[in-house]
Amino acid sequence: MHSLLLGLLMILLIGYASGELSDRLGLPKLIGMLLAGIVIGPYVLNLLPGVMLELSDEIRLLALLIILFKAGLGLDKDKILAQGSVAIRLGFLPAVIEASVVAVATHYIFGWDWLTSWLLGWIICAASPAVIVPLMLRLKAEGWGVKKGIPDLILAGGTASDATAITMFGIFLAWVADNGAVNGWYQLLDIPVQVGLGILLGILMGIVAVSIIEKSNLTGHIIEDMVIAVGLGLLLVIGGSFVDYSSFLAVMVMGFYISEKAPVPARKIRKELNNIWIVGQIFLFVLIGAAVNIDVVFHAGLRGLAVIAIGLLVGRWLGIFASTWRSILTLNERLFMVVGDMAKATVQAAIGGIPLALGVVHGEEILAIAVLSILITAPLGAFGTMHFAPGYWNGAK
**CATH code: domain of residue 250:** 1.20.1530.20
Q: Give the residue ranges of DSSP H helices in 125-246.
A: 129-142, 150-177, 190-214, 222-239
Cβ atoms < 10 Å from Cβ of 289:
29
Q: Give the residue ranges of DSSP H helices in 291-345.
A: 294-310, 317-323, 331-340
pLDDT of residue 218: 52
With respect to residue 41, please indicate whether it lies within any of the assigned structural domains. no
The CA distance from 284 to 287, in Å, is 5
Count: domains in the chain: 1
Cα distances from 121 to residues 102, 176, 219, 315, 361, in angstroms, run 5, 13, 47, 10, 15
Greatest Cα-to-Cα distance within the chain, rounded to the nearest angstrom: 65
With respect to residue 25, please indicate whether it lies within any of the assigned structural domains. no
With respect to residue 45, please indicate whether it lies within any of the assigned structural domains. no
With respect to residue 283, please indicate whether it lies within any of the assigned structural domains. yes
pLDDT of residue 306: 96
pLDDT of residue 80: 66
The CA distance from 31 to 286, in Å, is 10
Which domain does 340 fall in, by range?
Answer: 57-392
The CA distance from 356 to 345, in Å, is 18
Cβ atoms < 10 Å from Cβ of 57:
13
The CA distance from 200 to 196, in Å, is 6
The CA distance from 70 to 64, in Å, is 10
With respect to residue 173, please indicate whether it lies within any of the assigned structural domains. yes
With respect to residue 38, please indicate whether it lies within any of the assigned structural domains. no
Q: Does residue 98 contact residue 311 with C-beta atoms inside 8 Å?
A: yes
With respect to residue 158, please indicate whether it lies within any of the assigned structural domains. yes
pLDDT of residue 396: 47
Ordered mean pLDDT values, 10 residues apiece, the chain (397 residues): 83 94 81 89 90 82 80 74 76 92 96 94 87 79 76 79 79 74 58 83 94 69 85 90 81 90 87 85 85 80 94 93 85 85 81 83 88 86 77 49
Q: Choose among 84, 76, 89, 169: nearest CA to 125.
A: 169
3-state secondary structure of 241: coil
Q: Choose among 303, 306, 293, 308: nearest CA to 373.
A: 308
* Distance of alpha carbon 122 from the chain centroid: 14
With respect to residue 105, please indicate whether it lies within any of the assigned structural domains. yes
The predicted model scores a pTM of: 0.74
Q: Choose among 61, 44, 59: nearest CA to 7.
A: 59
Q: Which residues have a Cβ under 8 Å from the Cβ of 299 and sit 6 or more positions away?
A: 364, 365, 368
